[in-house]
Structure 1
């Protein structure tokens, strides 16, 4: 699907949320110009990397053209403004007000531009100037407090769920703006305020609705769902959504006596007596290997599976047979497995090197003769 062919996007964001939105637009056919300062997007310096490429920057910048311009110089500023004046969509992730101060605000853009601002806390409010990352927002939003491990300590998720979800939501908002713009009788700008706080809030909609309605934290939904270590050291994940699954679980485990215990009658009572229940189940799980438990649970189609590492996921037969992670041949890095996107599929166009297309883009837009 290439519905956005012919659209020009100036992606001046760094990191994850903004670039993720830009990558999806590129996958849909848009000409996305990845604008970077001379030192590059900070994501180029994190994680597994080679020269000016990293896996992180590759994931979020596939399919774009890379341009380096220095807005600290008058010439660089002029060239960026010239590109912004042509772009259908501009994506920026500066602190609120910075884009306007450096000459990359809506005033420098087309009268019908879709102007996307991505920030931690939004463009207004007492926290709008605060620096923010995915981890900070996991803490602020309450996400980390709900992600307690067996040690009962709040943990950040090791991946970046808030950044990625915010990028996906931003992509959805941009798509709506593109469709809405097609209905205009006169050009008008659309200013999209997209924040990590809003992204985190939408991830936690059920939990926020619950606590707002009750004025307190409700009991856990499906105790004793969770991960349990087995005899061989592997871990099995158990999910429960119906009471019958609790009956099937303990029956298969040979622990039918738990069905007679009034502390464990239903989800609410099990939640109230979680501290008493979990040690009993942990001890039981240690009597068999992970594969033995899974084979047993499959006889009742219970919602269980082995807790894999990402490397083990790549090695799974199912992953291979459905080509869930085809190979992207990324110059500078090599063969990188790149998971396909739901409903979209594989995006296997490499990410640009730092400034790789600067001359090409400037020439194309009539700016090369004045390039530094």
Structure 2
């Protein structure tokens, strides 16, 4: 969706606090500007197909050796699939997460956000920071590194114990609907008023408090049949039937009240509309108000900068700018180009 100017609200969110320059990298003059900017920078991030930057003379070996060169692609910079285009939709499937999401008797489902892109951005940022820290710990006497972040591998990195489970036991974890394999009880349950609640009682002591709270203390962990997670997994259907029946006889508010009293982790499933009314989010400052750099138009509500840092918390100075809004400013401030030089680049359609 877009704002009144037609600019994507996604960009207004993720482009916040950035200055935006446009370059035509098909032209040598545009590539030269990028070289000069990169050679003044600590980190470069690119997401072209592997080999494209090298073709343009902008690969890691073409720029200063101390640069942290961060690369995002579908399948990584090497391997038989390296040259293939990769969108998050395809790479989430290739990385294994789509297989685990949904129900075994239905087509795999997708979370209604671009999870693969976001996970890859986080991996790329974390890798860049690690490479910077390594360089700084050596007093900037060592060269930079290439950070190779693949969408498929960033998703693959979320598979927890799936790889050793298969390698050791031949267990290929299937989709598990609203539960999670090997953990009982942890599920989504429907309340009397048609809402959904998550209850996680998988620790032994938590599980015992849960069963006591719903009036079934004899099913607590003191009973050998339910004494640990391994035994509870054998009786998964029985446990979920008992908990589910108790939940469906009560409203969401009643369920949450009882669970809170028993110190059992639980919570509602919230939509964005619900979240924006939640006092917890408001108290934590999870919504920022900002305008684009021009200051024109209405203020936008954006999610906060996370994580929260005690000494240097993130703030939103401005929402994502217009495409190329800072081109002239960057060329003047960072590269000391004159108005005449900038005009020439514009005449060449390099900017």
Q: TM (normalized to structure 1)?
A: 0.77
Question: Which deviates more from structure 2 when the two are superposed, residues 78-87 or residues 232-241?
Answer: 78-87
Q: Is the 8 A contact 2:188 2:197 kept in 1?
A: yes
Of Structure 1 and Structure 2, the greater strand share is in: 1
Q: Which residue of 1 aligns with 2:43?
A: 89
1:51-62 → structure 2 map (5 Å cutoff): 51=5, 53-62=7-16
Q: Which residue of 2 aligns with 1:208?
A: 163
Q: What are structure 2's unaligned runs of at least 5 residues?
A: 174-179, 347-351
Q: Which segments of structure 1 move beyond 6 Å, counting only runs of 4 or more?
A: 260-263
Q: Is the 8 A contact 1:88 1:110 kept in 2?
A: no
Matched, 1:144 2:98: yes
Quote the offset at 1:358 in angstroms.
0.9
1:1-372 → structure 2 map (5 Å cutoff): 47-51=1-5, 53-148=7-102, 154-182=108-136, 183=138, 188-217=143-172, 220-255=181-216, 266-275=228-237, 277-330=239-292, 334-344=299-309, 345-350=313-318, 351-364=320-333, 365=335, 366=337, 367-372=341-346
Q: Is the 8 A contact 1:166 1:194 kept in 2?
A: yes
Quote the offset at 1:84 in angstroms.
3.0
Q: Is the 8 A contact 2:225 2:232 kept in 1?
A: yes
Q: What are structure 1's unaligned runs of at least 5 residues?
A: 1-46
Quote the offset at 1:342 in angstroms.
1.5
- Aligned mates of 1:151, 1:250 — CA distance in 2: 30
**Pair 48,224 (structure 1): closer, same or farther in 2 beyond 3 Å:** farther
- Aligned mates of 1:239, 1:215 — CA distance in 2: 27
**Pair 283,131 (structure 1): closer, same or farther in 2 beyond 3 Å:** farther
**Pair 79,170 (structure 1): closer, same or farther in 2 beyond 3 Å:** same
Q: TM (normalized to structure 2)?
A: 0.81
Q: Is the 8 A contact 2:192 2:250 kept in 1?
A: yes
- Aligned mates of 1:52, 1:82 — CA distance in 2: 32
SS in 1 for 2:147: strand
Count, aligned residues: 326
Aligned CA RMSD, in angstroms, stands at 2.9
Question: Which deviates more from structure 2 when the two are superposed, residues 336-345 or residues 177-186?
Answer: 177-186
Cα deviation digits, residues 304-352 of structure 1 (max 9, x gap): 1121112212211122122222323345563213223123334302222
- Aligned mates of 2:171, 2:69 — CA distance in 1: 39
Cα deviation digits, residues 109-146 of structure 1 (max 9, x gap): 22321111111111001121222233323222222232
- Aligned mates of 1:151, 1:317 — CA distance in 2: 39
**Pair 333,161 (structure 1): closer, same or farther in 2 beyond 3 Å:** farther
**Pair 283,313 (structure 1): closer, same or farther in 2 beyond 3 Å:** same
- Aligned mates of 2:198, 2:192 — CA distance in 1: 14
Quote the offset at 1:371 in angstroms.
1.7
Quote the offset at 1:227 in angstroms.
1.0
Quote the offset at 1:99 in angstroms.
1.1
Q: Which residue of 2 aligns with 1:11?
A: none
